[in-house]
Structure 1
Amino acid sequence: MTMNDQPIKTRRTLLGALRGSFLTGLVVVLPVGLTLWLTWSAIGWLDAWILPLIPAAYQPEELVHRFFGPDTTFPLRGVGVAVFLVFTTLIGWLARGLIGRSLMRQAELLVERVPVVRSVYGGLKQITETVFGQKERSFDRTCLVEFPRAGTWAVGLVASKAKGEIATKLPTQEEMIAVFVGLTPLTSGMLIYVPAKDVIFLEMRPDEAAKLIVSGGLVYPQSRDGD
């Protein structure tokens, strides 16, 4: 190596170090930045959706001017979120009571009489009940299943045992389990029915399995065995 090659090697080493530092910075900054941006955007979206529903006399800015003077101003972002949380909690409290349950049944009977609305409402209700764990329909276990062919394995979320028409029409007398297999990088998946004896149950939580699937196998949960 000549004397002229030394500065070139030094520059390459410096550029490599800067590149590594930049990529490390991205790993640190991007998750935090995206989380803050998504949170801020969601708050703004809820405000834009909910505030127009509040009567003009009770708008946050109107209340501030009424109690603190017309020249008083301060950021009010997030008021819509607070209203949404209070309103949703109040509706949930009422729906859990006897009168609330009766009103909900009457409202659902009314909705079920409208063809298109009935289908949309039924699907959305099932999704929300599954996501928020109502009626014991949420994913509570994870597993490994041979998919899409023997010898290859996929991480799945255990839904439930096969029931109803599915259980009676399946051409087997074995116990079958409904497993949701996620797809990467698509935020979707496939529902398959697998013999219970062929399912390998895992210790990882459903949210950890979802992260593993969405990341394409890059984000592994901490082993329960300490490995």
Structure 2
Amino acid sequence: MRILKRYFITGLLIWIPLVITVWVITLVIHTLESVVPAFLSSQSLFGVQIPGFQVVLVLLVVFFSGLFGANFIGRTLLERWEHLLGRIPLVRSIYNSVKQVSDTVLSPNGQAFRDAVLVQYPRHGSWTIAFLTGVPSGEVAEKLDGDYVSVYVPTTPNPTSGFFLMMPRSEVQVLDISVDAALKYIVSMGVVAPPAALPADSGDDPGSAPLAGANPPVNVADGPDSASGAGQS
């Protein structure tokens, strides 16, 4: 029975990553294909079913949309389009919120989700991995007494849901690991540990080091006043 159990577990270790990978890729492909209207499918256009045609069509539309929006005429038309959407009550609130988040996260020069940090959550003494998203700004920064940063604490094993927290800068410790490694650690519920960092010069406690140094995130050291527009792109 021990031999059978060992072989069975070995088989699971072989097939589970492969099945999950295929499932995720299939889910992404089906999601992209669902965006394409039925009259633009290969069946409607050519009379035959071409696998992956809708996915290629979506990628081409995204690419040429970016190419169009990169020139003066395209930017002008996009500004008019956004101005039109901004005059529709319900659409305005949804579109502006989504656009602001996407501009901040996907911007090549943005600092959101560029650093993994260690924070104490949900209580003092319990540590978890979070991601820096910026610094409080506007009225929120004025109400906070001190220097704060904004972090996103993901849930596990699904990191797409989580909690948004504003924490004192002194209580946030930047980790010397990549965001990808931190995500693997979160999704695996701590099973897949990130690679060990190089030995540090000091053996301070994880919560004792300030959020400053060789890799400062999102200009945190400048304080909330200098980043009043961090969330506006």
Equivalent position to 1:177, from 149, 160, 168: 149
Find 1:211's aligned residue among 165, 184, 201.
184
Distance 1:61 1:137, change over 3 A: farther
In structure 2, distance between residues paired with 1:105 and 1:134: 20
Residue 139 of structure 1: how far off its partner (Å): 0.8
TM-score under structure 1 length normalisation: 0.76
Structure 2 gaps, min length 5: 200-233
- With over 3 angstroms needed to count, the CA separation of the structure-2 counterparts of 1:27 and 1:55, relative to structure 1, is closer
TM-score (norm 2): 0.75
Which structure has more helix as a fraction of its residues?
1
Contact 1:60 1:79 in 2 (8 A): no
1:145-204 C-alpha deviation (Å, 9 max, x unpaired): 12222222121101112221111111x1x3211111122345421111122122111011
Q: Deviations over 1:102-148 (max 9, x none)?
A: 11111111111111111221232234334434551531111111222
Taking the aligned partners of 2:51 and 2:132, their CA distance within structure 1 comes to 40
2-side partners of 1:24 and 1:31: how far apart?
12
**Aligned pairs, how many?**
198
Does the aligned pair in 1 maintain the 2:120–2:128 contact within 8 Å? Answer: yes
Q: Which fold has the larger relative contact order, with Cα–Cα distance below 8 Å and residues 6 or more apart in sequence?
A: 2
Q: Percent identity?
A: 30
Query: Following TM superposition, by how much is the alpha carbon of 1:48 offset from its aligned partner in structure 2, in angstroms?
Result: 4.8
Residue 84 of structure 2, aligned match among 95, 106, 110: 110
> For the pair shown, which has the larger CA radius of gyration, 1 or 2?
1
* Residue 53 of structure 1: how far off its partner (Å): 3.9
Choose from 99, 118, 128 the match for 1:144: 118
Alignment RMSD: 2.5
Question: Where does residue 171 of structure 2 map in the other structure?
Answer: 198
